[in-house]
Each structure stands twice: as C-alpha cells, then as structure tokens.
Amino acid sequence: MAESTAQTQVRCTVVTPEKAVLDQSADMVILPMFDGELGVLPGRAPLIGRLGAGELRLKSGSTVTRYFIEPGFVQVRANVISVLTAKAIAAASITVDSAAKAATDAEAMPSGTAVERTNKTKARDRALGMKKVAAKNSGTSSVAH
C-alpha cells in the first residue's frame, strides 16, 4: 500500500551552473522540449532529452508553479525529473518588454561566422520562449514573430 502512495507524485529538481533553483514534488511536470512539450506523470519510463527555451510547469492539485528555463537537458528516472539548464527564473518575472528586448538583442547579433549564426539562433529561440511565457503572464494568447 505504501508503494502506491509513493507513486502519486514526481520530484522535480532544477539546477543551473550557479545553484539549485528548485526541488519540489508535483502531481505532473510539463517540460519545454526542443521539439514540443512533454508531460511527465508518476511511473514514466526513464528518458534523457534535450530541453528548449520555454515554460516549465509543475502541477499539484489546482496549483501550477511556472518557471522560464533556457535550453538544457532533462533526465527522468524513478519518478525524479532532473533539469539541467543555464538559467531558470520564475515565469511571473518575464514581461512583454523583457521578451521584446531579448528579441531585439538577438536580431542585433552578428551572423558572419558559423559560431555567430549558432549563437544568434539560440538567442532567437530564447526570445521566442520568453515571448510565449510573457503572453501567458499578460493573458494574451497570440505570440507574434
């Protein structure tokens, strides 16, 4: 009986190079993968995947905790979700203005070499992820650009 209780939640840890940002249990975790979203429930088969920039959501009952995360990697194993990312911040702190500035900064980046083009593409992806989170924060449903 105790084993079924242990299977009702997953534990999510988010780690950046600077610190552990989050270590929390939830009923479900939704991850921004590089090619779409992935929902993880208790009992999920193990996986390793590549994250995209976007919104990480932890659902517990009717409560949803949201974070903006940059691209990175995720491992799911034994009901533990380990997220490794360069940056993770509370989604509520992402504004339409900060997302627009990130997009402007990305477009201003040079693109003469292969490395510069790669960095510019990453910055554009990060700005798009921020725009999606900012749109949810402001209650708008469409994301331009």
Over residues 57-88, the pLDDT tens digits come to 999 999 999 999 999 999 999 999 999 999 99
Report the chain's terminal Cα–Cα distance, integer Å: 51
Q: How confident is the model at residue 4 (pLDDT cuts 50, 70, 90)?
A: very low
User: In the prediction, which pLDDT does 26 show?
Assistant: 97
Could you give the CA distance from residue 51 to residue 69 in angstroms, rounded to a whole number?
A: 9
pTM: 0.82
User: In the prediction, which pLDDT does 140 show?
Assistant: 54
Asked if the model's pLDDT at residue 2 lies above 80, the reply is no
Asked if the model's pLDDT at residue 5 lies above 80, the reply is no
Give the pair of three-digit tokens for residue 61: 């009952």
Q: How confident is the model at residue 137 (pLDDT cuts 50, 70, 90)?
A: confident
Cβ pair 144, 100 in contact under 8 A: no
Cβ pair 74, 82 in contact under 8 A: yes
Q: How confident is the model at residue 136 (pLDDT cuts 50, 70, 90)?
A: confident
Asked if the model's pLDDT at residue 28 lies above 60, the reply is yes
Could you give the CA distance from residue 76 to residue 140 in angstroms, rounded to a whole number?
A: 32
Give the pair of three-digit tokens for residue 60: 């517990």
Could you give the CA distance from residue 41 to residue 45 in angstroms, rounded to a whole number?
A: 10
User: In the prediction, which pLDDT does 138 show?
Assistant: 75
User: By percentage, how much of the chain surpasses pLDDT 90?
Assistant: 86
User: In the prediction, which pLDDT does 145 show?
Assistant: 42
Could you give the CA distance from residue 47 to residue 31 in angstroms, rounded to a whole number?
A: 13
Q: Is the dihedral of CA 104, 37, 33, 16 positive or negative?
A: positive
Average pLDDT, the chain: 90
Q: Is the dihedral of CA 62, 16, 49, 96 positive or negative?
A: positive
Q: Among 42, 47, 32, 62, which residue's Cα sits nearest to residue 128?
A: 32
